[in-house]
Amino acid sequence: MAIIKPNNNTISAITALPAGVGGKVLQVVQATKTDTFTTTATSFTLVTDLAASITPSATSSKIFVTVSIMGQRSNDNGEVGQITIFKDSSNLINASSPGSRTPSISSGVQMGNSNGDVNAEPYSFSILNSPSTTSSITYDVRVKMISGSGEFYINRVEDDLNNNIRGRGISTITLMEIAG
């Protein structure tokens, strides 16, 4: 089998993609939340320890944000909980014509049932952002309830009893700088 030597270089001598070829992962930053979090807030509230900062190396870079959460909304009266991603102090989700609807990654109801307090919900989502800057940027996960009577739980289930059918988990946010 022949070995192709681009520009007469050995394979190990190639350290960068040719000019104009994007898509290379330049850096990866991750934050992992291992403890629990609970809120009754009716406005988007930062999930502590679920934020990460990255400084792009070029204004043409894109940031690929991936979030994985173990959580649950309380099952009282079909409470609605929402999740979103913020970039610095702004909601990164820009839905068209939201009207009174909240731009969010996830919006759902935990319906009350006999096992509602032991069913953890997995949330996983990603978004590609073009920040057009070489300054440090912070991405974070925020959650809220629509009314103050419900609770949003991260890394635990509602009743959180210490037995083998209740779940505890971890949540992560990962940032990847992609060459533009």
**Cα-flanking dihedrals φ and ψ of residue 76, to 5°?**
-75, 120
Residue count of the chain: 180
Overall domain count for the chain? 1
Q: What is the pLDDT of residues 26-79, one digit of tens each?
A: 999 999 999 999 999 989 999 999 999 999 999 999 999 999 998 887 766 666
CA torsion, points 92, 93, 94, 95, in degrees to nearest 10? 180
C-alpha distance from residue 97 to each of 11, 102, 159 (Å) = 51, 10, 38
Q: How far apart are CA 69 and CA 72, in angstroms?
A: 10
Q: What's the pLDDT score for residue 108?
A: 60
Q: How far apart are CA 7 and CA 72, in angstroms?
A: 55
Range of the domain at 147: 29-94+103-178
**Residue 76 resides in a domain:** yes
Q: Are 44 and 84 in contact (CB under 8 A)?
A: yes
**Residue 21 resides in a domain:** no
Contact residues for 3 (Cβ-Cβ < 8 A; gap 6+) = 11
Q: Are 70 and 155 in contact (CB under 8 A)?
A: yes
* Structure confidence at residue 111 as a pLDDT band (50, 70, 90): very low
pLDDT more than 90, % of the chain: 43
Q: How far apart are CA 20 and CA 23, in angstroms?
A: 10
Q: Are 81 and 110 in contact (CB under 8 A)?
A: yes
**Residue 20 resides in a domain:** no
In sequence order, the β-bridge partners of residue 6 are: none
User: Is this structure's pTM higher than 0.85?
Assistant: no
Tokens, residue 80: 């609605």
- Mean pLDDT of all residues belonging to the chain: 81
Q: What's the pLDDT score for residue 60?
A: 95
Q: What's the pLDDT score for residue 16?
A: 56
**Residue 154 resides in a domain:** yes
Under DSSP, is residue 13 helix (H, G, I), strand (E, B) or coil?
A: helix
Mean pLDDT of 111-128: 70
**Residue 117 resides in a domain:** yes
Q: How far apart are CA 143 and CA 39, in angstroms?
A: 8
> How far does the chain reach from its first CA to its final CA, in angstroms?
34
Examine the pLDDT at 17 and tell me if it is beyond 60.
Answer: no
Q: What is the pLDDT of residues 2-11, one digit of tens each?
A: 555 566 665 5
Q: Kindly report the CATH number assigned to the domain that includes residue 151.
A: 2.60.120.1340
**Residue 17 resides in a domain:** no
**Residue 4 resides in a domain:** no
**Residue 15 resides in a domain:** no
